[in-house]
């Protein structure tokens, strides 16, 4: 792809890959070429993780409202790492499909294609040697890719001055999703990675670890360290676990990651997941447009209300207490599944408020980890006791929801979502919207990543909140983009990026 790129901004990519009812060409899935959802490193012995038999008992609401930076630094151990990885991306269910076993995970994924992968850099942990490892969900094991501590190289790359005990790297393999969604797949890879990231945040919080998150880093350096080719598989997020300071004698020598030997070609080639992979130029163009070194002084921009609609009246969202039947965070992770069997039965206002409360608690006013950054979050309501049907925006900072349109829009929205009619029976559709032009203006093309990753994060949180409350939930990435903009009366620069439906279901 040497020609001048056509796509240089998030908005260009988004609209170029939008669905239009009158221009949907049939796409048949090539089952012979179905991507492998598990990465394979030939010839490297994987290290088994520990079976997780006890899970934390925290409430999701408590975990979400805790501050991200916990002062109490701990040393990691192998049991904890096993638990973290299992809750973040482990296998939680199995079904038979076309005569084969199919594995579902703790995280939702568009089309169950699981494009996101996880790597761990260990610097200081009991019973686990320092090194860079890949997490395999299928064998629940770590494959060692490099041995030795790369602590200072990573700190230097991420401009991180604090001491770290581990770093997690989340990556995306484009063809896993592009096999089904073609050029539109960059959206799904980002949303899916955001879902995984939220699971990782919650898992870290559940064992009381302090951590920081980086959306900005040199893609080239991170790719070199963990063995990505930057074309098939790319790095999207780094999460650092803060650790106890090492004694001065143990602090490894720092060098630039570019001076570290590249990993062998066989390791990098493990990013190939099908025999015949199609490379979509639109995906490479938007990805590459976002790889410029981001400004270190980027500011948080609150996007609330940049989408061209203004609330006329407000409803306040009170902090709520747990119901005795509510599942714990870990039970919600283990039981979470996408549900589409909604019944047109009213949802108690208390449960709905509890979900809104969860979202408000997750907002962070003081850091890069705010999942609301770059997004305007709203919802459509239908059958909720004592809550007027309509289209609302959520203002998490002021803990209130503002009405934009009165009336039930669930049915027209189901039609916007590629006529997935079952969505009409959900009690509510959460909406993740953004002014893409503003995001491009503030952050360049990398801003599209922030918005989509954050939409995925909040999507996973709603899935878990709904599961804890005994409600069904399903993410929806398939929508006619122009129709969504029109239905919600958004301005021409704004789009609905993602939708998550929840409500009472027939069988839970
Ligand atoms: C980003 C994203 C988009 C999705 N889009 C749809 C959709 O349009 N329609 C649908 O029925 N399910 C959709 N899903 C749900 C997935 O199909 C589901 O997560 C996957 O099959 C795995 O099943 P599980 O969630 O039960 O683990 C989506 C999920 C995600 C994360």
**What are the pLDDT digits (tens) for 348-378?**
999 999 999 999 999 987 666 899 999 999 9
161 CB-near residues (< 8 Å, 6+ apart): 155
Nearest CA residue ID for atom 19, ligand 1: 108
CA of residue 105 to ligand 1 center, whole Å: 12
Among 427, 431, 412, 425, residue whose Cα is nearest residue 476: 431
Q: Which residues approach ligand 1 with their CB closer than 6 A?
A: 104, 108-112, 188, 191-192, 195, 337-338, 340, 420, 474-478
pLDDT top residue among 316 and 69: 316
Atom of ligand 1 nearest to the CA of 188: 1
Average pLDDT, the chain: 93
> Pocket of ligand 1, candidates 90, 454, 477: which has the most ligand atoms within 8 Å of its Cβ, to mutate?
477
Average pLDDT over residues 192-217: 95
CA of residue 382 to ligand 1 center, whole Å: 22
CA of residue 52 to ligand 1 center, whole Å: 26
pLDDT of residue 182: 97
pLDDT of residue 319: 87
The angle that helices 185-206 and 78-89 make with each other, rounded to 10 degrees, is: 140
pLDDT in tens, 6-19: 999 999 999 999 99
Structural domains of the chain, with CATH: 68-289 (3.40.109.10), 313-503 (3.40.109.10)
Helix (H/G/I), strand (E/B), else coil: 387: coil
What is the Rg, in whole angstroms, of the alpha carbon atoms belonging to the chain? 22
CA of residue 337 to ligand 1 center, whole Å: 9
Atom of ligand 1 nearest to the CA of 105: 27
Average pLDDT over residues 465-478: 98
Q: Is the pLDDT of residue 67 over 90?
A: no
pLDDT in tens, 156-175: 999 888 889 999 999 999 99
Among 106, 132, 129, 130, residue whose Cα is nearest residue 120: 132
Helix (H/G/I), strand (E/B), else coil: 56: coil
Distances in whole angstroms, Cα of residue 399 to Cα of each of 250, 306, 317, 499: 47, 18, 5, 21
| CA gap 381, 378 in Å, rounded | 10
Query: Phi and psi (nearest 5°) for 505?
Result: -120, 165
Alpha-helical segments (H) within 408-491: 410-416, 436-443, 447-468, 481-487
CA of residue 478 to ligand 1 center, whole Å: 10
CA of residue 213 to ligand 1 center, whole Å: 25
| H-run or E-run covering 155 | helix 151-157
Among 457, 428, 459, 425, residue whose Cα is nearest residue 351: 428
> Pocket of ligand 1, candidates 91, 97, 109: which has the most ligand atoms within 8 Å of its Cβ, to mutate?
109
pLDDT top residue among 74 and 99: 99
> How distant is the alpha carbon of residue 1 from its chain centre?
28
Length of the chain: 508
Asked if 84 and 203 count as a contact pair (C-beta separation under 8 A), the reply is yes
Alpha-helical segments (H) within 21-148: 60-65, 78-89
Nearest CA residue ID for atom 30, ligand 1: 110
pLDDT of residue 369: 85
**Within a 10 A sphere around the Cβ of 138, how many other Cβ atoms?**
13
pLDDT of residue 234: 98
Which residues make beta-bridge pairs with 347? 384
| CA gap 146, 263 in Å, rounded | 8
pLDDT in tens, 259-281: 999 999 999 999 999 999 999 99
Nearest CA residue ID for atom 16, ligand 1: 110
Nearest CA residue ID for atom 22, ligand 1: 112
What's the CA dihedral at 268, 154, 152, 130 to 10 degrees?
Answer: -50
Asked if 157 and 170 count as a contact pair (C-beta separation under 8 A), the reply is no
CA of residue 111 to ligand 1 center, whole Å: 6
pLDDT of residue 3: 72
Asked if 300 and 368 count as a contact pair (C-beta separation under 8 A), the reply is yes
Which pLDDT band holds residue 71 (cuts at 50, 70, 90)?
Answer: low
| CA gap 336, 472 in Å, rounded | 9
Among 307, 279, 300, residue whose Cα is nearest residue 215: 300
Nearest CA residue ID for atom 31, ligand 1: 109
Q: Is the pLDDT of residue 296 over 60?
A: no
CA of residue 355 to ligand 1 center, whole Å: 20
Among 216, 242, 220, residue whose Cα is nearest residue 231: 220
Average pLDDT over residues 387-404: 96
Phi-psi domain of 470 (left: phi exceeds 0; alpha: psi -120 through 50; beta: other):
left
CA of residue 473 to ligand 1 center, whole Å: 10
Please give the structure tokens belonging to residue 424. Answer: 């009409």
CA of residue 208 to ligand 1 center, whole Å: 30
- Written in H, E and C, the secondary structure of 238-287 is EEEEECCCCCHHHCCCCCCHHHCCCCCHHHHHHHCCCCCCCCCHHHHHHH
CA of residue 338 to ligand 1 center, whole Å: 6
Asked if 495 and 453 count as a contact pair (C-beta separation under 8 A), the reply is no
> Pocket of ligand 1, candidates 414, 425, 475: which has the most ligand atoms within 8 Å of its Cβ, to mutate?
475
Which pLDDT band holds residue 70 (cuts at 50, 70, 90)?
Answer: low
Which pLDDT band holds residue 508 (cuts at 50, 70, 90)?
Answer: confident
Q: Is the pLDDT of residue 68 over 90?
A: no
Atom of ligand 1 nearest to the CA of 417: 8
> Pocket of ligand 1, candidates 104, 474, 501: which has the most ligand atoms within 8 Å of its Cβ, to mutate?
474
Distances in whole angstroms, Cα of residue 449 to Cα of each of 14, 34, 48, 187, 485: 11, 26, 33, 9, 20
Query: Phi and psi (nearest 5°) for 206?
Result: -70, -20
CA of residue 498 to ligand 1 center, whole Å: 11
Which pLDDT band holds residue 75 (cuts at 50, 70, 90)?
Answer: confident
pLDDT of residue 248: 67
Average pLDDT over residues 28-49: 95
Average pLDDT over residues 382-389: 95
Distances in whole angstroms, Cα of residue 143 to Cα of each of 32, 45, 220, 221, 233: 27, 7, 22, 20, 17
486 CB-near residues (< 8 Å, 6+ apart): none
Query: Phi and psi (nearest 5°) for 316?
Result: -90, 155
Which pLDDT band holds residue 98 (cuts at 50, 70, 90)?
Answer: confident
> Pocket of ligand 1, candidates 104, 110, 180, 342: which has the most ligand atoms within 8 Å of its Cβ, to mutate?
110
Cα angle vertex 450, ends 435, 134, to 5°? 155
Atom of ligand 1 nearest to the CA of 339: 26
Quote the pTM value: 0.97
145 CB-near residues (< 8 Å, 6+ apart): 41, 44, 119, 131, 132, 133, 134, 226, 227, 263, 267
pLDDT in tens, 304-327: 569 999 998 999 998 888 888 999
> Pocket of ligand 1, candidates 476, 496, 508: which has the most ligand atoms within 8 Å of its Cβ, to mutate?
476
Work out whether strand 76-77 and strand 125-126 pair parallel, antiparallel, or are unpaired: parallel
CA of residue 113 to ligand 1 center, whole Å: 9
Nearest CA residue ID for atom 6, ligand 1: 476
| CA gap 448, 454 in Å, rounded | 10
Least confident of 41-45, 209-213, 247-251, 343-347: 247-251
pLDDT of residue 27: 83
């Amino acid at each position: 792809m040497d020609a001048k790129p056509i796509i240089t901004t998030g908005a260009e990519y988004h609209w170029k890959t939008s669905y239009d009812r009158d221009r949907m060409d049939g796409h048949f899935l090539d089952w012979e070429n179905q991507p492998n959802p598990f990465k394979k490193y030939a010839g490297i012995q994987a290290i088994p993780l520990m079976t997780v038999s006890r899970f934390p008992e925290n409430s999701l609401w408590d975990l979400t409202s805790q501050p991200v930076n916990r002062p109490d630094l701990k040393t990691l151990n192998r049991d904890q790492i096993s638990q973290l990885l299992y809750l973040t991306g482990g296998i939680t269910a199995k079904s038979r499909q076309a005569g084969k076993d199919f594995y579902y995970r703790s995280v939702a994924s568009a089309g169950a294609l699981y494009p996101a992968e996880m790597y761990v850099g260990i610097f200081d942990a009991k019973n686990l040697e320092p090194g860079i490892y890949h997490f395999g969900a299928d064998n629940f094991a770590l494959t060692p890719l490099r041995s030795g501590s790369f602590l200072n190289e990573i700190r230097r790359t991420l401009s991180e001055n604090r001491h770290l005990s581990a770093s997690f790297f989340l990556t995306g393999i484009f063809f896993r999703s592009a096999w089904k969604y073609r050029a539109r797949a960059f959206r799904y890879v980002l949303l899916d990675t955001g879902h995984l990231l939220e699971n990782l945040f919650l898992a870290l919080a559940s064992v009381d670890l302090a951590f920081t998150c980086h959306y900005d880093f040199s893609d080239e350096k991170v790719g070199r360290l963990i063995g990505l080719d930057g074309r098939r598989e790319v790095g999207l997020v780094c999460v650092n676990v803060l650790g106890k300071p090492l004694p001065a004698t143990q602090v490894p020598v720092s060098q630039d990651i570019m001076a570290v030997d590249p990993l062998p070609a066989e390791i990098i080639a493990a990013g190939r997941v099908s025999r015949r992979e199609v490379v979509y130029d639109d995906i490479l163009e938007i990805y590459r447009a976002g790889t410029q070194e981001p400004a270190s002084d980027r500011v948080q921009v609150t996007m609330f209300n940049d989408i061209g609609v203004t609330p006329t009246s407000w409803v306040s969202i009170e902090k709520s207490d747990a119901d005795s039947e509510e599942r714990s965070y870990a039970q919600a992770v283990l039981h979470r599944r996408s549900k589409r069997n909604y019944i047109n039965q009213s949802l108690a206002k208390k449960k709905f408020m509890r979900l809104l409360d969860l979202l408000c608690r997750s907002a962070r006013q003081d850091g890069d980890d705010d999942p609301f950054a770059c997004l305007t979050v709203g919802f459509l309501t239908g059958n909720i006791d004592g809550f007027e049907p309509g289209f609302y925006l959520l203002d998490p900072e002021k803990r209130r929801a503002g009405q934009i349109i009165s009336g039930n829009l669930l049915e027209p929205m189901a039609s916007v979502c590629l006529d997935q009619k079952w969505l009409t029976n959900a009690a509510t559709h959460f909406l993740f919207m953004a002014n893409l032009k503003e995001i491009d203006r503030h952050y360049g093309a990398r801003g599209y990543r922030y918005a989509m990753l954050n939409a995925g994060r909040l999507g996973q949180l709603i899935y878990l909140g709904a599961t804890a409350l005994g409600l069904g939930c399903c993410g929806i990435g398939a929508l006619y983009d122009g129709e969504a903009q029109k239905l919600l009366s958004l301005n021409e620069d704004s789009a609905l990026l993602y939708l998550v439906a929840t409500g009472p279901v027939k069988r839970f």
